[in-house]
Chains A and B, each alone.
Chain A
Amino acid sequence: MTTATDVIPPVTTTGHGAPGSRGSRRVRGIRYALLILFAALVLMPLYVLVVTSLKPSSDVDPSSAWGLPHALSAEGWRSAWDTLAPPLWRSVVLAVSVAVLSAILGAMNGFVFAKWRFPGSHIVFTAFLFGMFIPYQAVMIPLQGMMIGVESQLPWFTGIVKLIVVHTIFGIPICALIFRNYYATAVPTEILEAARVDGAGMLRVFWSVVLPVSAPAFVVTMIWQFTSAWNDFLFALFLTTRQNGPVTYALNELAGGQNPDYPSIMAGVLIASLPTLLVYIALGRYFIGGLMSGSVK
């Protein structure tokens, strides 16, 4: 079982075989050549993005598409920013709210599933996990109807508010899983028993014993939920509009025009991806922790 804090452990030994021998040196050469080749392939789309985004929109000659820009231009970035700034802020509100709400629910659920079980809690947990794997298409039609119904009663229940509610709810399973796996290993049952013998009730144990050591699971869960809310498109497409949707919606609109303005589109991709990329670069090990818990085992 993978816990939330597991990241890829470092190697335990330094190299294998005789380090200086000619054979191993050749193997190492091939290994690095492959590593660099694959890194170049993975980074190729990023190169396209950066290079194209800096070209003036008049530079439309296909044969120079892979070349560096003849003259640097901020035109693409400026026009993409003008289009994407409002939805970008809506996405910030969305992703931050979802991260906070999901983590609170996740801590409560994970604590119970790991340390304060009730009869049948297993079955409930497995039923939760299934909710993590369902194709959201299977709920989308009635969900859309339901959301429109609520909106007709509560006029403020639109766009981003809808998405906050929906992402928080459909994030319950994964967040419960991350916290449960974390608590199962990070909080020794003996400590809880001791607190209980001292007469502490469940909330007291949760608040004073468990929550203070929960920071790593909070970070992993919040990053995970931030990223998935930020990157979501399916819910946005079904539940929001051009006027009140998140940045993925706006980016798709920007890219879908009849006469594509590639510098602006590519700059738009970078702008829309920057927040999650920054999170990934700054907090990569926690990001991987979330990925790992997604694999259940």
Chain B
Amino acid sequence: MRNGVKTWLPGLLLVSPSIVLVGVFVYGLIGRNVYTSLNVTRNIVTDKIVNPGGYRNYTKLLGSDDYQHALWNLLVLTVVFLIGTMVMGLLWSVLLEKGARGEGFFRSVYLFPMAVSFIAGGVVWRWLLSPAQGEGQALGLNQLFIKLHLDGLQNQWWSSPSAFSMAAMAMPAIWQLSGYIMALFLAGFRGISDDQREAARIDGASEWKIYRHVLFPQLSPIALSALIILGHMSMKMFDLIYSIAGPNSYKAMVPATLMWTQMFASNDKVAAAVNATILLVIVAVVVVPYLIYTNRTEQEGR
């Protein structure tokens, strides 16, 4: 630590406006939201208790069918989205990492959906994932399947009756974010010195073995970062689902969209606050250990 208050105090002063703003708007509002979530509320007309207050508001939401349905959807969405995006991103980076002619072009193409808003992407994907089937009806991908004589592939996508229908909702998300993961992995590959490959090659290792035992292990910190980023994006994904399925869709409901329904369709602010608090806890469980871990490794590296 530097010598004396006189040296560091100006620094603290320069950051203090931001400390106040983050303190109030992030931590203060989180506190306020948790406080709201504990309230007791009654139905205005019947005076029956809607939210019993305290922790029972939480057990009420956690036990409700709607919320469990939303959690299940979130799980399906997250698993398919994470696997799909990681596999695509890694595959693209492997295809590009040795340098290909036109690399810049492919990189830009793969990454461009990241520059588009989820709302704009969602509007297109709503059309692509239109549930209508059969000649004269089908739009989007179903129509494309008909054109390609792959009629059997037609399906109702996210609105199909299957319990796993949210897997279809992961498609637009994979489309938007695979390029980002590719960029992360590509930077990782380029950070590995060529000598290591050469050494392994001289030892007679096959290309696959070089990836498996030399390159991939060194990418694992990047893979961890990528998983955390994608995971927390998936937990709070709202725009895309809202835009594709519309507001108040039961079929495509996840906690983030259920919160919208609670707030505006059911006019139950307390239940919405409970939902939001649980969402925060889920994200924090993933993110806080990661932040502590990166903070510590950085301290050690200094």
A-to-B contact residues, CB < 8 Å:
1-2, 6-16, 31-32, 34-35, 38-39, 42-46, 48-49, 52, 62-63, 65-66, 105, 108-109, 111-113, 116-119, 121-122, 124, 126-131, 133-143, 146, 166, 169-170, 172-173, 176, 201-203, 206, 227, 230-234, 237, 248, 251-252, 255-256, 262, 265-266, 268-269, 272-273, 276-277, 279-281, 284, 287-288, 291-292, 294-297
Contacts and interface: CB of A to CB of B under 8 A. Distances in A.
A252 B122 CA distance: 9
* Secondary structure type dominating chain B contacts: helix
Closest 9 CB pairs of A and B: A231-B117, A11-B99, A135-B236, A116-B11, A280-B115, A139-B29, A138-B280, A142-B32, A118-B8
A66 B128 CA distance: 11
Contacts of A118: 8-9, 11-12, 15
Given A9-B187, A62-B139, A66-B143, A251 B123 contact: yes
B121 A141 contact: no
A273 B18 contact: no
Given A66-B147, A139-B25, A42 B294 contact: no
Interface in B101-122: 102, 106-121
Interface in B1-53: 1-2, 8-12, 14-15, 17-19, 21-22, 25-27, 29-30, 32-33, 36
Interface stretch (B78-86, B161-169, B239-247): B239-247
Contact of A122 (B25, B112, B226, B295): B295
B115 A124 contact: no
Given A14-B99, A118-B12, A141 B36 contact: yes
A203 B117 CA distance: 38
Contacts, number: 292
A111 B14 contact: yes
A103 to B, nearest CB: 13
Q: Is the interface of A mostly helix, strand, loop or mixed?
A: helix
B75 interface: no
A8 B26 contact: no
A273 B116 contact: yes
Nearest to B37: A141
A8 B183 contact: yes
A35 B96 contact: yes
Interface string B81-96: 0000000100110011
